[in-house]
Amino acid sequence: MARCWLEIDPNALVANARLLRRAVPVGAALMAVVKAEAYGHRAVEVVQLLKDEIEFFAVANVEEAMALRTLIDPERIFVMSALLTDELALLVEQGFITWISSLREAQLINDLAATHGRRAAVHFKIDTGMGRLGVLPDQAEDLFRRSLELENLELTGIATHLPVADEDEAATDRQLDQFERLVDSLRAAGFDGHWVQACNSAGSLRHPVGNLFRFGLSLYGESPVDEPVGLQFPLTWKAAVVAVRDIPKGHPVSYGSTWRAPRPTRMAVLGVGYADGYPRALSNTDARVLIHGVSCPLLGRVTMDQIMVDITDHPRVAVGEEAVLLGPGGDDRIRARELAERSNTIAWEIFTNVSRPRVDWFFLSLTSEPAAPTPLVAKSLR
């Protein structure tokens, strides 16, 4: 029997993909971010499920891209991170897409493509404020013109990245205004590629600019913006009750004795800990799990392999039953955002931390037609 496992509802993933399609301009394409095992949802299965719903799939490195190469055409796989020379060689050999931020990258990809007798498709990335990858705006036209001279390089897109689309609307507007001006100037300088990509989930829902939109967090049911968007929650993280104990008033629980029972307490021990991705930072917070749909508070510190929860008011809990750590349970649900706020992190980290070797995984059945999504409510500022 599994002690700790994930259940993935493919119907919710399909419904989310179709809902997000409605958030972007008609005729635009979607890019599903499936790096880090599709945020814990298993990349191969997600791509297999959504390959007829979504045009592109984004990964972090060539190793992740290679895992998808038998499922979809390589020109639909976009590698988003900076790459080492041997990674670039494999990328060009396989025909995956990436972006370029420097003349060195452009020349290297061009030379590698020449050895294979082909042209390598790349997107030209501009750093409008992320400060991670991309050419600076005042250097963009010069690098672009130099890249155009490389005969084995095909500039099929222009890209940027939004760092505060979920936090600072004014700054994001300024960033996108600058990006759109740069796209216009590069078109005047000879850019004839089709794709313009700038928006992550938050940007796509609030500032839909371009014709290629990257969706990560929202595809997996968590909106990075406050507006309700009707997303479904595909992932449920569960753990088994491995012990039930009664402890007297004043008895300590877990390392450091940071929690002591204020009353005679019935406690359930669950087979999950920080080695499985359950954040230790949730120790001594208002974190909870759901058992039989009822909220049960976490007790004391999270340990490596187990956590303890209070079931005093819900005593009909038995060994072998399941607790929901993340996702829906009865009429309630625990969101990744809830766990993130209580552990002082972000929802992205909550999702990606659960893809650990000790966490079992189950993909549920796909119905013939996923349930229709609820009405979309997205905020466009442009």
162 falls in which pLDDT band (50, 70, 90)?
very high
- pLDDT for 45 equals 96
| Model pTM score | 0.92
pLDDT at 370: 59
Strands 288-291 and 294-299: antiparallel
User: Can 274 be counted among the known catalytic residues?
Assistant: no
pLDDT at 372: 55
Domains and CATH numbers, the chain: 10-220 (3.20.20.10), 235-363 (2.40.37.10)
Question: What letters, b where the CB count within 10 A reaches 16 and e where it falls short, cover 324-348?
Answer: bbbbbbeeebbbbebbbebbebbbb
The Cα 223–Cα 216 span in angstroms is: 10
- What was the pLDDT predicted at 375? 45
Q: What is the pLDDT of residues 20-68, one digit of tens each?
A: 999 899 999 999 999 999 999 999 999 999 999 999 999 999 999 999 9
**Residues 160 and 178: beta-carbon distance below 8 Å:** no
Please tell me the distance from the alpha carbon of residue 194 to that of residue 135, in angstroms, as a whole number. Answer: 20
Q: Return mean pLDDT, the chain.
A: 93
Q: What is the pLDDT of residues 228-244, one digit of tens each?
A: 578 999 999 999 999 99
Is position 255 annotated as part of the catalytic site? yes
Across the range 112-121, mean pLDDT stands at 96
Rounded Cα gap, residues 244 and 184, in angstroms: 65
Angle, CA 223 vertex, CA 218 and CA 227 arms, to 5°: 135
Candidate list 35, 125, 220, 274, residue with the active-site label:
35
Choosing from 39, 125, 249, 255, the catalytic residue is 255
